[in-house]
């Protein structure tokens, strides 16, 4: 994408992960700082480093405003770091707000990335339709976004990101607007989908339990400016149960890092 060439910190062709065949690193953020200058200086990120190996799910947790969305936009090449470097294999972003196109049906929205990749309309729709039932969206293929609940819109946006076929998925609080039951269903669906078809995922969430249930590793950021204050390996077998004592203990460990633990 030509616009990426303006960004000195981003890899212009975004080929790094694939270009070095055999490289096991899909995402590498090194000592990145980012300050917004729009209305006085807002230091969003301070010397943040993060790596995601190919096929790894890294969860980024931290309080609101600590630069999580900024970090994902840097990885996707949508903005450039002021300091430091960002390298990533081609990455698709699921933005925090669903940003569905109101004039397209749910199915057309889900198939959008495939259409942009010049896949024939019928083929793109068939790919999307195949996953509609699995996400509890069957029967809503022709609905417009305003006819869907918030949770359904989020699921369509998630499907659109998944169908982008990019090796890296950057998910910005993908289940944030879902009710607790749907969120739990979506978490297990994501875990199953990734077991079937591994991708590198950077999952931003403020739900520490979700992070422990899904991730291989947690990167904990402190309040703005976001800095990495803890990294927690989650070497637990899958599927994971939220009631598992080890899951509960790791959740507590992350909350303590955030200064929110019962014993903090
Ligand atoms: N485009 C922008 N212009 C100015 N400030 C911004 C912009 N985007 C984000 N910020 C500020 O940067 C900080 C980090 O934002 P963000 O990355 O959205 O954090 P998070 O996703 O963790 O809530 C916040 O204080 C926010 O107000
Ligand atoms: Mg955000």
What are the residues whose beta carbons fall under 8 Å from the beta carbon of 1, sequence distance 6 or more?
14, 77
End position of a domain, from candidates 149, 165, 181: 165
Q: Is the pLDDT of residue 112 over 70?
A: yes
- Which range marks the domain in which residue 126 is found? 100-165
What are the residues whose beta carbons fall under 8 Å from the beta carbon of 101, sequence distance 6 or more?
108, 109, 112, 145
Binning the chain into helix, strand and coil, the percentages to the nearest 5 are 35, 25, 40
According to the model, what pLDDT value does residue 188 have?
86
Q: Same domain for 86 and 15?
A: yes
Q: Is the pLDDT of residue 2 over 70?
A: no
Q: Same domain for 74 and 49?
A: yes
Q: Is the pLDDT of residue 225 over 60?
A: yes
* Total tally of structural domains belonging to the chain: 2
Q: How far is CA 56 from CA 64, 81, 94, 171, in A?
A: 24, 23, 17, 13
- Residue 234 domain-assigned (yes or no): yes
End position of a domain, from candidates 124, 142, 165: 165
Q: Same domain for 174 and 247?
A: yes
Which candidate, 97, 20, 23, places its Cα nearest to that of 53?
Answer: 23
- Looking at every residue in the chain, the average pLDDT score rounds to 88
> For the segment 11-21, what is each residue's pLDDT rounded down to a tens digit?
333 333 333 33
> Which residue, by CA, sits nearest to atom 23 of ligand 1?
65
Which token pair is 240?
């994971």
Hunting for tokens 């096991």 — which residue is that? Answer: 24
Q: Same domain for 80 and 119?
A: no
Determine the Cα–Cα distance for residues 227 and 47; give it in Å rounded to an integer.
Answer: 7
Distance in Å, CA 219 to ligand 1 centroid? 18
Does any ligand 1 atom lie closer than 6 A to the CB of residue 95? no
Query: Among 9-13, 67-71, 250-254, 259-263, where is mean pLDDT lowest?
Result: 9-13
> Which residue, by CA, sits nearest to atom 26 of ligand 1?
65
Candidate from 29, 32, 35, 36 with most ligand 1 atoms within 8 A of CB, to mutate:
36
| The most confident of 14-18, 50-54, 97-101, 237-241, by mean pLDDT | 50-54
Q: Same domain for 171 and 161?
A: no
- Residue 228 domain-assigned (yes or no): yes
Q: Same domain for 84 and 171?
A: yes
Which token pair is 209?
């339990």
Q: Is the pLDDT of residue 6 over 50?
A: no
Q: Same domain for 79 and 179?
A: yes
> For the segment 44-62, what is each residue's pLDDT rounded down to a tens digit?
999 999 999 999 999 999 9
Q: 86 φ, ψ to 5°? A: -130, 125
Q: Same domain for 35 and 133?
A: no
According to the model, what pLDDT value does residue 111 have?
95
């Amino acid at each position: 994408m030509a616009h990426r060439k303006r960004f000195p910190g981003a890899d212009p062709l975004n080929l790094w992960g694939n270009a070095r065949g055999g490289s096991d690193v899909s995402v590498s953020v090194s000592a990145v700082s980012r300050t917004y200058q729009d209305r006085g200086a807002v230091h969003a990120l301070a010397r943040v480093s993060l790596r995601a190996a190919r096929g790894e799910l890294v969860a980024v947790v931290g309080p609101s405003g600590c630069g999580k969305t900024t970090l994902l936009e840097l990885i996707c090449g949508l903005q450039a770091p002021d300091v430091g470097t960002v390298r990533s294999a081609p990455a698709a972003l699921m933005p925090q707000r669903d940003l569905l196109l109101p004039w397209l049906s749910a199915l057309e929205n889900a198939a959008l990335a495939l259409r942009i990749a010049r896949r024939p309309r019928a083929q793109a729709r068939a790919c999307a339709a195949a996953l509609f039932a699995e996400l509890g969206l069957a029967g809503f293929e022709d609905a417009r976004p305003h006819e869907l609940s918030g949770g359904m819109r989020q699921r369509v946006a998630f499907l659109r990101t998944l169908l982008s076929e990019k090796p890296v998925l950057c998910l910005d609080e993908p289940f944030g607007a879902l009710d607790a039951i749907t969120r739990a269903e979506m978490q297990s669906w994501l875990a199953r989908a990734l077991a079937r078809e591994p991708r590198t995922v950077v999952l931003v969430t403020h739900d520490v339990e979700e992070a422990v249930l899904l991730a291989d590793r947690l990167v904990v950021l402190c309040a703005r400016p976001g800095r990495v204050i803890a990294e927690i390996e989650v070497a637990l077998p899958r599927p994971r149960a939220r009631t598992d004592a080890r899951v509960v203990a790791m959740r507590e460990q992350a909350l303590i890092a955030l200064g929110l633990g019962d014993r903090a």
